[in-house]
Chain A
């Protein structure tokens, strides 16, 4: 999977909005989950306080990150685990590949994890001759379909049931137990086919790789929340467990976890509680455990006073599900494993804004604020978007235009003259402007407003405020 050299967001999105199947799938899925979330959040009278608590706990942890990270390392080591520090994706991949090699195995099972997607671990393992098998149902669909995830929680959200059935029938056999020939697109039948396919894998594979939703510094415990139970299989059955976790996933204590066990399920799947919560501390008997703590740009994000709030993110995907831009552009348009509003603020911070795609991400939003309203840790995404826009490289023509507009607005006389000029030229404004440029982008789908003969300020002066 590589996003390298992808066109900028507007071009990706322009292609996506024409894809009727994608539009249908996304609309249906996001609206369903959006409504579920809204109803379970409305049940809690203290939601606003929970949200504030979540925000405060994360901020406190981020401010004291070094202390808690060291505490975490000490606790994990004391419990028989091994802790590795990875400054970037390459180092993390090298560590994990080395650890798998040491086991002598060439197959690993994976628990759904964003951090390993972010560093491109599956590809790095493949290069070393190691096959990673995704075990989350949606990740499996993505992997079998040789596709990219398009959503944080439901990576195959862009697929319909019929498409999933076709992928299973066509591809499952290449990866293990084939799908039954009579497979229907009934969700239960699809889940059953996946279950049988995966079950054999769990029983035969000796190495598992996971991420974590939270790490608890006081005891060195890792926490994974999931719906299917496949994660739990991976976490318990194999002999070696390797967890790759972003350093911002820390919580100081178990008491803090209580807040997030309420915030996360309600925000992400719209459930009061998620079906499976697994916790483990160090290595259990007969098992080997490695924790890879991943920076990969996070300390740089932490240094930005406005942007650092993105590190509070608990990857619930509520912001994706309410985002009108995400709903129409789809996750792939964002060219990152982090799509939607959180991707628009996280990707440019983690990767920088030197590629046209990354520089276009802070603009992939109308600043409508729906994301901020639902975010369980109160990340003011519009604020960060505006902040990043201030640092993004601007196209030359736009920069000149904006500078000129600024010059006009600097003095009321200049503005008045510009308005009079527009008023005189109003008959010459075309109904549809030839492209490219902002005027043609506007008039392709919208009429322009009629330019008035007289501006408000000229009317005010001429009539002395309407009194003459």
Chain B
């Protein structure tokens, strides 16, 4: 199966290892992975911070770049949620103000968006696998980031994938469904509340005794990991793709 990777700008610039792990994993499962190099950013930061003009432009760019792909895989819950929820809203223009450009965008959105899958959705729903042949002998706890949980409704898909990883000791995270306090630009616009929320999240993480905190979104992990590191907890963060890409052979 041919899949196009939308790596996301955060992963592209800051966490290329997650992108490489996604490629490794998808290839191991028999996919032919392409990377349309014209891709940039889904527009989430702009749109959610109140810059719909720039956000809308980036959304149009995304739908142009990925228009002809059969399946698009995104290793980020919040970017996938952005595309699925907000592109549809952006495309909803009242008939009175519709133009040829807005109609074309709406058509693109209708065609492209249903083919965009967050990584765990793609593995479980499209490929129909939960055992991806991974090996990772560590104690791991999983944080189900807000946009994965309440936006995409990923449910237990990521956990089902992790449960099948050989050697992995999955421990439940207390108050897992509570937001970590990242919230994009919220983290710097409201740093005090963001840090207070993160302190609670970090405390819940260390209470599990896990050595690795896993999530399907590196932006949240960057935030929680930043606090875990600052506090010298010795807990490291890893994207779901990186754990699923690990095998005994490459260790």
A interface list, Cβ under 8 A from B:
9-10, 13-14, 17, 23, 305, 324-325, 328-329, 362-370, 372-373, 383, 386, 388-392, 394, 398, 402-403, 405-406, 409-412, 415, 418-419, 422, 438, 441-442, 444-449, 451-452, 454-457, 459-461, 465-466
Contacts and interface: CB of A to CB of B under 8 A. Distances in A.
Given A9-B190, A445-B191, A415 B12 contact: yes
A406 B57 contact: yes
A305 B96 CA distance: 14
A363 B186 contact: yes
**B interface residue count range (under 10 / 10 to 19 / 20 to 34 / 35 or more):** 35 or more
B195 A465 contact: no
B226 A390 contact: no
Given A406-B57, A415-B9, A446-B198, A441 B49 contact: no
Given A13-B190, A406-B58, A465-B34, 9 more contacts: A14-B193, A325-B193, A369-B147, A369-B151, A412-B40, A446-B223, A449-B14, A456-B12, A460-B35
B40 A409 contact: yes
- Going nearest first, the 8 A-B pairs with the smallest beta carbon separation are A366-B183, A446-B226, A389-B50, A406-B54, A368-B179, A14-B192, A369-B150, A456-B19
A125 B249 CA distance: 79
B176 interface: no
B46 interface: yes
Nearest to B201: A324
B226 to A, nearest CB: 3
Contacts of A369: 146-147, 149-151
Contacts of A14: 191-193
A447 B16 contact: no
B184 interface: yes
B191 A324 contact: no
B130 interface: no
B186 to A, nearest CB: 5
Contact of B16 (A17, A386, A455): A455
Interface in B72-128: 86, 89, 94
Nearest to A394: B50
A17 B186 contact: no
Contacts of B94: 305
B54 A403 contact: yes
A465 B23 contact: yes
Contacts of A419: 12-13
A324 B179 contact: yes
B168 interface: no
A373 B179 CA distance: 13
Contacts of A9: 190
B154 interface: no
A370 B57 CA distance: 29
Given A366-B183, A409-B58, A446-B227, A324 B20 contact: no
B229 A447 contact: yes
B80 to A, nearest CB: 14
A367 to B, nearest CB: 6
Interface of B: 7, 9, 11-17, 19-20, 23-24, 33-35, 37-41, 43, 45-52, 54, 57-58, 61, 86, 89, 94, 146-147, 149-151, 177-179, 181-198, 222-223, 225-227, 229-230
Interface SS of A by simple majority: helix
Contacts of B12: 415, 419, 455-457
A459 B47 contact: no
Contact of B33 (A383, A415, A465): A465
27 contacts: A10-B192, A14-B191, A325-B193, A325-B197, A329-B193, A368-B183, A370-B150, A392-B50, A402-B46, A406-B51, A409-B9, A409-B40, A409-B41, A409-B54, A412-B37, A415-B12, A415-B13, A442-B226, A445-B230, A447-B226, A447-B229, A449-B14, A452-B13, A452-B17, A457-B35, A465-B35, A466-B20
Nearest to B13: A419
A449 B7 contact: no
A173 B150 CA distance: 50
A305 B94 CA distance: 10
A294 B199 CA distance: 43
Given A363-B190, A406-B54, A324 B181 contact: yes
A388 B48 CA distance: 10
B181 A366 contact: yes
B154 to A, nearest CB: 13
Contacts of B15: 449, 452
Contacts of A367: 48, 146, 183-184, 186
A403 B89 CA distance: 22
Given A13-B192, A324-B181, A446 B16 contact: no
Contacts of A392: 50
A444 B226 CA distance: 10
Nearest to B237: A449
Nearest to A305: B94
B26 to A, nearest CB: 11
A34 B38 CA distance: 46
A43 B50 CA distance: 39
A465 B26 CA distance: 13
Given A409-B58, A446-B227, A447-B230, A459 B20 contact: yes
A426 B29 CA distance: 35
B183 to A, nearest CB: 3
A365 B57 CA distance: 24
Contacts of A409: 9, 40-41, 43, 54, 58, 61
B42 to A, nearest CB: 9
A365 B183 CA distance: 7
A304 to B, nearest CB: 13
B179 A370 contact: yes
